[in-house]
Amino acid sequence: MKIIFCKIYQWFLPNSLSQKNAALHVMCFLSFFLTMNIISVYLILTNLIGYSLSIFSGEFGELIVLILPFLISFIIYMSLIRKNKYLVLYKQVQKNNIHIFSFSSKIITILYLFFSLILFIVGLLLKIHP
């Protein structure tokens, strides 16, 4: 996930007012996608298993969906953005030119975003048409 953070940070950096501003934009962007992934997996599993967890029903479920992005943002902020840790990580990733399974960080990031959207669409379709 740190590689994805760095690549999206690199994409946002030219259009941001400052480095910190770009990092905060990436934090919001990733928290949205991670929340979307969690909701998608929940929708797919509840449709395949046919059993939904009672904690996600009613008002408590709505509260979880509202709090989840803020919780993810807080975790990203505390682990990467606080004390400018993202700058050190960004310099490491740029210096080492990290590849995973011979894929560059750009391809990994694009595949993550693409499959996140596909997973969300499949989850919604399964929820709408069981």
- Cβ contact 21:81 at 8 Å: no
Q: Please name every residue paired with 100 in a beta bridge, in sequence order, or none if there are none.
A: 103
Distance of alpha carbon 88 from alpha carbon 80, whole angstroms: 9
Each residue's pLDDT tens digit, 56-95: 666 676 777 788 889 999 999 999 898 888 888 888 877 7
The DSSP secondary-structure symbol of 100 reads E
Each residue's pLDDT tens digit, 3-36: 888 889 989 999 889 999 999 999 999 999 998 8
Q: Is the pTM of this model over 0.85?
A: no
10-14, 45-49, 116-120: segment of lowest average pLDDT: 45-49
Residues 6+ apart with CB under 8 A from 54: none
